[in-house]
Every structure is written in C-alpha cells, then in structure tokens.
Structure 1
Amino acid sequence: MKITILAMAALSVAALAATPAAAQGKKTLAIVVKGLDNPFFEQINLGCKKWKSENASSEYECLYTGPASSADEAGEVQIVDDLLTKGVAAIAISPSNAPAMATRIKAIAPSVPVMTVDADFLEKDHGLRKTYLGTDNYLMGVKMAEQAMKLKPKGGSVCLQLGNVAAANINARAQGFRDTIGGAKNIDRLTGQGGWKEIGGCPVYTNDQADLANQQMSDVFTANPTLDAFILVGGWAQFAPQAYAQVTDQVMPKLKSKDLIIIAGDTLPPQTKAFREGRSHSQVGQRPFEMGYKAPDVMIKLIKGEKVADPLFTGLDVCNLDDPGFCAKN
C-alpha cells in the first residue's frame, strides 16, 4: 500500500500523543517548517534540540516537524491544523505558502499563541501572529545587491533564482535586491535600472528542490553564455554539493575571471565549502540554528502574556572575496 507524503505527515502528528513528552505531561511548543528535506531547516531542528537538552526539567517540550517534502504546501497546512486541533501550548510556523497558511489560521482562530519563524505571513496577515523570529529578508536582498554592485559596478544581465511563488520571505529578498540594485522602490522587474536587466525566462522558481535548482542553473548558463550574474536568493542548488559542483564546472573559467558572478543565500557547511572553492563570489547567510534555539523561549513568553518585540531579527553573515569572514572557517 502506498502512503502519500500528506498521509505520512498526518501520521507523524498523530503519533505525538505517544511521545515521551506527552507521556510526561509536558506542554508542546511546536515548530513547523516548510519541509524536512531541506538542510537549512535541519539547523532549526538542531537549535530546538539544544534548547530541549538545556531545559530538560521544563514543563515544556520543543517539537520540530513539517512535511517530508518542501514542495508539499498542503501538507504543511494540514500538519499545523492537526497540531492545533490536538492541542499545543504555542506554535511557530515557517509558512511555505503564506496566503494559504494565513487563511487556515484565520479559519481555525486558535486560542494559543501563533508566531512565525524563518518566513512570515504577508503584511496584511501580520495580525494573525504575535511576532516573527528570523531574518530581515528585505535586508538580505539588499546585502546581496550590494555584493553584486561591488563585483559588477557597471551592471549587466542577471537571473534571479527564487523558491515557491508564494513564499513571502523569498519574495521579500527579491524585492530588496531589485530595489537596491535598481535604485528605486517597488521594482517588479529589472529592465535596465542601474544598468541591470533580468534576462528572459527568469526569475526561475525551484519549489525548494535542490535537483530542480541545479537543472535550472545549468539550463540558464547554456542558454545565456554572456550572462553576467546569477543570484541564488536561497541556497537550494548548493544544498546538493555534487550536482552544484558539476553545474559550476561548466562555467568555472567565467567564475574565475568574474565575467560571471554567483551570489547565494545562506552559509551552511556545503555552501561555505563551495565559496572557498571559487564556486560563488559571495554568500549572505542567515542564522537558522539561532531561530530554532530562540523560538521556544519566545513562545513561552507569549504564553505568559509577556511583551515580545515584533519582529525579532536574528542577523546576517556576509562573506565575499575581500572578507571571507564566517565562510573562511566554517
């Protein structure tokens, strides 16, 4: 009998009642991410685990969960629905499809605190959550644009690689990039502003899939031999190091001469290794471990009715050829 990803997700949530935490009468602080297949979110899991190890005597338990695949937007919504129905003390959500998740939260109208982590709801839906913990995604796009302008001061042709169409955090990064590099606000597409122009067929959307991200890069490089810049607004392609190495091998002479530049989001170990190997020119990294580690304490404050700032930004790490910084040793 075949079990769908959605069914697997539902089964994992149903099993919550049998966990040691439930048996010990602990209250659940749930962190729901876009997909368990993404190594970025595993860092959030490690942060959650560290909090658990340091708070073993707490009345609360940190639960990390999500759909098996980052492409399963409906599965994530179902997991959140199930958790809230079964009962949690608070929940932190990284919505893959921000409008869809907001619509479900609005329908459920949960009595427990809801916050977002890593990815936020759209601004019109901010009232549905108490706070957002994570990256200033617009600023992340600004930083990526600054790196591109430093490497290509006269501008050039560019392709942006994005995630899910409705992922608010990724779209905010793209907006920050376009506004900064184009020198104006609310640019929908670069058509020559600041000397930069987005090529036909871009942006490309990975649906958070590393294999698709690498195929897209390869296709773009083949179809556009004079491309000046490729911007991985998220690190998807680099999450599959072997495939990413093969793709960048195709254009390595151009990368070395800086005829083609690559700027990527995030600084996980495979990515910093790629940077040191000359397979990117800059990495703008988030701090996912910190998100997972801090989220339980924020949720407890919300449960107690304490005042919590909104948003709560976790900062960025910028690596480039002049200042490898974080990427030189991690």
Structure 2
Amino acid sequence: MNSIVAAEGMNFALVGKSIDDQNFIDAAQGCQEAAALNADTCVLLGGHGDSNAHLQYNAIETALASRQYDAIAISVTKSEFIAQAISQARIPILTFDSPFSGVDKVLSRGYVGADNVAFGQELALMAQELKPNGGCICLMTVNHDPNLADRILAVRRTLSGQKSFLDGQRLQGEGGWYEPERCPWNSGDNVERTMTQLSNTFNGIGSDVFLSVGAWPMNDIDAFRDTVEIYNNELKTHKKIIIIGVGKILPSYKALLKEHLVHAYVSIDFFEIGRETYRNMKKAANGESIAKTTYTKNEIVRSNSILENTTKKAATPIDK
C-alpha cells in the first residue's frame, strides 16, 4: 500500500502586524499547537507596538534570509509594499487574517482567515437589528488595510441594500442610514486617538450608532469604560448603539455586554486561523496543493445572548 510520509521537524512562521497584538498571539498559539502534533514548530514574527509595515517588511526579509523556515504566512499590512519583500522568496508564501490585494494576490499560495465580506455583513446585520429604522452611523477602521476596506464596503452595501455601492462611498440616506462627514474614523491603531474619536461620535457628532470593524476600542478596557459610561442610560435604552468586531471574546468583553456598554460583537477565531494556516503551510511545503481561500467561521455575540448564557452563531451572509 502506498503512503505519503510527511517530513518531520519542519519550521514555519506567522508574520503578524504586531507581535504584541492578542489576535496574532492567539493565531500563533493555534499554529504551534497544531505544529507540535507533527513535531514541527511555528513561531510569531514581526515588530512590537502598533502595526507598522516597515517593521513587518524587515521581519519578512530576515526570515527569508535565515533560510530556516519551510513556509511563512503573512498578515499583510500594506499590500504593494510588502509584496516587494517576498519577490525573491524560495519557499511557499501564504497569507492569513489580511490578504494581498489587487494584482499582488497571485503572490500568495493561499489565504486563511475570516471572510471579511461576511464579517462586515454580520456587523451591519446587528446594526439593522438594533436600529431597524436606520439612523446616523459612524464607522471606525484603519486606513490602507485591504481586509478592513472589504469589511467597510460590506457594511455599507448591507445597510444600503445595494450591491453596487462603491468603495469609499458614504451612506447618505440609503436604507435609512447616514454617515457624517467626519466619519469613518481612522483609529490609527492608537488607544488615545480611538477613545477621542469614540467620544466625538456621540458627543460632538451625535451619531446613533458607533460600529468598529476592528477591536481598537477594546485595547484598553478601562479607557473604553471611562469614555462610554457617561452615555450609560442612552446605551441601556438603545438610543445609542455600540457594535465592535473583535477576535476572542474575553471575560472583560462579556462584562461590557452584561452592562449594555456594548451591544454586539462579531468575533473571529484567531486560534483556529492559526491551526488552519499551519495545515496549509505544511501541505504547501510538502508540494501538495492547497485551497486558494480557506475561511474560518465568525460568531455573533449580543448582550441578551450573554445574559442567557448562550451565543448566536454567525448568520448566513447575504449574496455578495
């Protein structure tokens, strides 16, 4: 009987946007756990602090020059810039969490992560559920990030009900939703800036809904609580709504749901992303074919769901 004997002791790496980001730490743990089952290794590479394309570029260059890895997977910061770092790569390159965009997509053997379109749709569905008549909504993102751009566009297309809604086009009454001129916010992956923008959403602009396509408001729970507690009554009565896209649902996140300081999360399982990324890197390194895209499941968690000690699985996305 024929059998395929996989190579042992192979080395793999995830190159995150920041090695301090809990999402990438979770992904690396999932990757290493799966790798250990085959006597392989998986490590997390990248820079400290806020997401930085130059630090990521340097980490990729160093990893490739070391020739100690059988494959690497990158969470892409800036597609065109990072593409230059792998132009001479002699090992399989994959992406996870955030893929290459445009013409650079061909540089990756495969992508593992959330379906960013579905993720944005699910965030929007929560806004529609909580504010069925629409209202003024302020979105938060980080500029020049391809996966976040996909989420923002999906939010707008879902709320507007228009598949043809253009990238960068603000909601101006479509589906009953409006975006003020000062939004969407660019958090810059900075806590102080994020909290100022969150405060301005309700105080300066007077928006009904704050919707963040990433977890920046959760990077400092104490600062978040201090920022939003002034709106406690309005949040409890759903006059104001907060919806946030996150990674793992931490106990501190659940506490905010119980207090109705946050109304809903859409959660990405980064641990599972890490496991799936390892499996695909292993196959690619062994010369096996892999799927061009591997999506992991998102999960919707709402305040009333936590109170009932249950969670609601992600809704079926509308047609893309």
Length-normalised TM-score, structure 1: 0.85
SS in 2 for 1:285: strand
Which segment drifts farther, 282-291 or 203-212? Answer: 203-212
Task: Give the equivalent residue in structure 1 for 2:16.
Answer: 33
Distance 1:216 1:273 in 2: 22
4+ residue runs over 6 A deviation: none
The reply to whether residue 312 of structure 1 matches residue 294 of structure 2 is yes
SS in 2 for 1:92: strand
Q: Deviations over 1:38-61 (max 9, x none)?
A: 222221122133234433xx2x32
Distance 2:36 2:72 in 1: 19
Task: Give the equivalent residue in structure 1 for 2:201.
Answer: 220
Distance 2:259 2:46 in 1: 33
Distance 1:288 1:273 in 2: 21
Task: Give the equivalent residue in structure 1 for 2:130.
Answer: 151
Q: Deviations over 1:230-288 (max 9, x none)?
A: 00110111121111111110211111111111111024303233222211111100010
The reply to whether residue 176 of structure 1 matches residue 154 of structure 2 is yes
Task: Give the equivalent residue in structure 1 for 2:52.
Answer: 72
Instruction: Kindly report which structure 2 residues correspond to 1:121-132, keeping only aligned pairs within 5 A, or say none.
Output: 121-132=100-111
SS in 2 for 1:250: helix
Distance 1:49 1:111 in 2: 23
Structure 1 unaligned regions, length at least 5:
1-24
SS in 2 for 1:130: coil
Amino acid at match of 2:120: G
Task: Give the equivalent residue in structure 2 for 1:113.
Answer: 92
Determine what percentage of the aligned residue pairs are the same residue: 27
Deviation at 1:112, TM superposition (A): 0.7
The reply to whether residue 63 of structure 1 matches residue 46 of structure 2 is no
Amino acid at match of 2:20: D
Task: Give the equivalent residue in structure 2 for 1:104.
Answer: 85
Distance 1:299 1:172 in 2: 25
Q: Deviations over 1:200-255 (max 9, x none)?
A: 2111111223332222212332202x311000110111121111111110211111
Q: How many correspondences in the alignment?
A: 297
Instruction: Kindly report which structure 2 residues correspond to 1:133-148, keeping only aligned pairs within 5 A, or say none.
Output: 133-148=112-127
Task: Give the equivalent residue in structure 2 for 1:200.
Answer: 181
SS in 2 for 1:251: helix
**2:227 pairs with 247, 251, 254, which one?**
247
Deviation at 1:26, TM superposition (A): 4.5
| C-alpha contact (below 8 Å) 1:67/1:76 kept by paired residues | yes
Amino acid at match of 1:141: G
Distance 1:240 1:255 in 2: 19
Distance 2:239 2:183 in 1: 19
Distance 1:45 1:321 in 2: 29
| C-alpha contact (below 8 Å) 2:25/2:44 kept by paired residues | no
Deviation at 1:186, TM superposition (A): 3.2
Amino acid at match of 1:145: A
Task: Give the equivalent residue in structure 1 for 2:282.
Answer: 300
**1:286 pairs with 247, 263, 268, which one?**
268
Structure 2 unaligned regions, length at least 5:
1-7, 313-320
Deviation at 1:70, TM superposition (A): 2.6
Q: Specify whether residues 122 and 99 from structure 1 end up closer, same or farther in structure 2 by C-alpha distance, changes over 3 A only.
A: same
Deviation at 1:291, TM superposition (A): 1.1
Amino acid at match of 2:55: G
The reply to whether residue 84 of structure 1 matches residue 67 of structure 2 is no
The reply to whether residue 167 of structure 1 matches residue 145 of structure 2 is yes
Distance 2:262 2:236 in 1: 10
Distance 2:54 2:165 in 1: 30
**2:191 pairs with 194, 210, 226, which one?**
210
Amino acid at match of 1:146: L
SS in 2 for 1:247: helix
Task: Give the equivalent residue in structure 2 for 1:18.
Answer: none
The reply to whether residue 263 of structure 1 matches residue 243 of structure 2 is yes
Length-normalised TM-score, structure 2: 0.87
Task: Give the equivalent residue in structure 1 for 2:4.
Answer: none
